[in-house]
Chains A and B, each alone.
Chain A
């Protein structure tokens, strides 16, 4: 089995920042695994601006932000990038296996950083009862369809959840001529950034129903309508408050779940509620020499904080390898 100094799983903004920081701290050999066909992670589909206001003091789109890191990674001969590479196994001895077209590879890593990001919470997990027609999509999937493929998922949409992905997609669909009839939010305030509520909903005249929930999805083969009901402070349905919204599409934006199944497979301790690593401080895991960074650690609302967090993880890995200076002590409450 080939030995590598540092293997990083995930080539999104977290993995790339960690790779560059580890290299800057003296790590000679970094293997960066990315399952997609390009580096950039989820940023590749976030074509709206608003990234990098802190880190670059500029207003960039997702691909532009990711592109700056991908350029630096590409020019760094100490970072080997392996695309279309999907990590399938990790154990406590830091032996890692991954699949790529044409090969099942195994490496022994001296240190590992997991930058595996998040997945979306789905309709089934909430759950929203009713039928199971075509036309119900996680908002991030709809974003990928529209922005990377040019596919419109529907013509009349209701969005469940006012997190940033839901708000961004409300505007995105409206810009493509889709009638966005409502954003339905369970809490009494929107979960997204204020600027998104203004720029995505108010500016487009899209109604936001706070303290409401979608109680039923109708439609046998394709969505036909949703039932919506108001809830009180205890989240109980308010009798008589129900109404229906005809639509052919439902986007679900109800939160992100950190992806740590690989870490769990390795036997590390995982917080069952949050699905994040349990460790004495941020970026560590219960396996020495295995670190985590970015959204896999904590769901950040700005990628600038992902970058900062991941640079620290890169430096921690370098320190573990006996290189570089340890980063300043970090408060877990950050």
Chain B
């Protein structure tokens, strides 16, 4: 069986492309090497939906970010039931001598189509961001920026794509790509061979390797590590908008981010690394992040930190690589998708669909395209009346498993029904274990629910796929044997 399109990678880029292509009468197959979507680059994303400033004019980033921002704000947030909060962003300066640079960012942003940009002074900041330290002199306000849960964005895109006929196969690492004489592609993944007329490469950190396997001219992905530190939810009030310092050459700087789940987050660092699998954090990273964040909000302290993680940005040069590879006809690369990749994803998807169309893929709209995806239930986001209504519908919504984040047993079962297969998959979909006790109290209960719903023994349950098994052995109590015999 030959698909119309195979997409390699179910991160935000691949998921957005899958959802976009699922509008049309096409057979779309997504191959993801990890156990679940979003387990690569996307899960470590900070979740910022950028206003679209700070991108070079005449770059793909420049217009794709603005268009992606618009698509999320005006369509996808509502259609896909995303928890998008349009909180706005501020780029602050500590030195009045930097005001011209701020002005330039404003002008360049306006040229790219960013609206509502405004330079605000100390008086405005005192009224609207009272926790900012006295070193901050002024800022550029971008009201169209917002915050989203990056992995829940990916799940929403994937679920809707699948609902509209796309097929997702996980734990399928692409190891070879062949070009049959008759045309198209033969993709070997997880020991199986898949065929397609067109191939879209959205393989994140490994996009260079996939492109090479497909016979396209080489480019290189250099991982750039960013460490992020999550603060206790109790400190959620420290800022109202996403706070940026002036950008440097390689990064947007240490930010103070209002995550969509309520915990402030500080970071990221930006350090090139050679290892595509190195997700370790460091004492130096912590020091750098804390110093940068405290320059903007001095009252932050190390004791506010409850968690940390790092991510690797798939960097290839200064811009996205989104093009048909004439040297490997039928291959479209969507690579080097670093910041503002999450924001740009919906626009990248439209661009890729367009490129495919130009190269012979017929795009005939599907009659029953399910545009809408209902927002999943998250008790921590709903008011008491809604909670009562949910519990009346299903009592298990009142059975609290994760107390730090208020996640009920039913939400965990819902997540498993929607595709979670691993403990991390449950965590990213529901927030269970992401709170201050880090699963100290809820993990056994979650594993029991997983065992029940998935039908696996507890020793087969993993944190994030094969190799990360959580329990090495299970002992049976003698009483179980007695019970069975009576």
Contacts and interface: CB of A to CB of B under 8 A. Distances in A.
A104 interface: yes
B254 to A, nearest CB: 17
B77 interface: no
Nearest to B233: A261
A231 B399 CA distance: 46
5 contacts: A104-B387, A134-B463, A149-B444, A152-B475, A221-B463
Interface stretch (B22-30, B82-90, B98-106, B280-288): B280-288
Interface in B303-328: 303, 305-309
A151 B467 contact: no
B224 to A, nearest CB: 18
Contacts of B175: none
B484 interface: no
B470 A153 contact: yes
A307 interface: no
A248 B279 contact: no
Interface in B256-287: 277, 279-283, 285-286
A222 B399 contact: no
Contacts of A141: 439-441, 443-444
Contact of B308 (A124, A137, A144, A222): A124
B400 A99 contact: yes
Contacts of A273: 303
Contacts of A48: none
Interface in B435-469: 436-441, 443-444, 448, 458, 462-469
A104 B398 contact: yes
A131 interface: yes
B473 A152 contact: yes
A153 B468 CA distance: 12
Given A151-B458, A261-B234, A140 B440 contact: yes
A132 interface: yes
Contacts of A187: none
B391 interface: yes
Contacts of B458: 149, 151
A190 interface: no
Contact of B471 (A127, A133, A145, A264): A145
A248 B469 CA distance: 11
A86 B437 contact: no
Contacts of A125: 305-306
A222 B391 contact: no
Interface in A243-281: 248, 261, 264, 272-273
B13 to A, nearest CB: 23
A124 B444 contact: no
A134 B467 CA distance: 9
A102 B398 contact: yes
Interface string B380-393: 00001001100100
B398 A152 contact: no
A188 interface: no
A141 B399 CA distance: 20
A221 B283 CA distance: 22
B384 A97 contact: yes
Nearest to B476: A150
A88 to B, nearest CB: 7
Interface in B358-405: 384, 387-388, 391, 395-396, 398-400, 403
A130 interface: yes
Given A100-B398, A101-B396, A104-B384, A152 B440 contact: no
A161 interface: no
B472 A130 contact: no
A155 B477 CA distance: 19
Contact of B462 (A134, A148, A151): A134
Contact of B306 (A124, A138, A155): A124
Given A127-B286, A221-B463, A133 B468 contact: yes
Given A102-B395, A103-B391, A248-B472, A122 B437 contact: yes
B95 interface: no
A220 B277 contact: yes
Contacts of A130: 280-281
B422 to A, nearest CB: 10
A110 interface: no
A107 interface: no
Contacts of B444: 141, 144-145, 148-149, 151
Interface string B208-235: 0000000000000000000000000010
A120 interface: yes
A324 interface: no
A152 B471 contact: yes
Contact of A132 (B234, B309, B387, B469): B309
Quick one: which of A119, A132, A140 has the most chain B CB within 10 A? Answer: A132
A78 B282 CA distance: 55
B406 interface: yes
B44 to A, nearest CB: 11
Interface in A106-145: 119-120, 122-125, 127, 129-135, 137-138, 140-141, 144-145
B403 to A, nearest CB: 6
A141 B445 CA distance: 11
A84 B406 CA distance: 13
B481 interface: no
Contacts of B74: none
A28 interface: no
B280 A131 contact: yes
A323 interface: no
Contacts of A124: 305-308, 438
A150 B474 contact: yes
Nearest to B384: A104
Interface in A66-91: 84, 86, 88
A57 B82 CA distance: 59
Given A101-B395, A134-B462, A134-B468, A216 B280 contact: yes
A26 interface: no
Given A99-B398, A130-B280, A151 B474 contact: yes
Nearest to A97: B384
A211 interface: no
A34 B238 CA distance: 33
Contacts of A151: 444, 458, 471, 473-475
Given A100-B398, A130-B280, A122 B438 contact: yes
A242 interface: no
A155 to B, nearest CB: 5
B433 to A, nearest CB: 10
Contact of B472 (A88, A104, A132, A153): A153
Nearest to A154: B472
A121 to B, nearest CB: 9
Contacts of B285: 129
A127 B437 contact: no
A104 B438 contact: no
A35 interface: yes
Contacts of B436: 119
A103 B398 contact: yes
B437 to A, nearest CB: 4
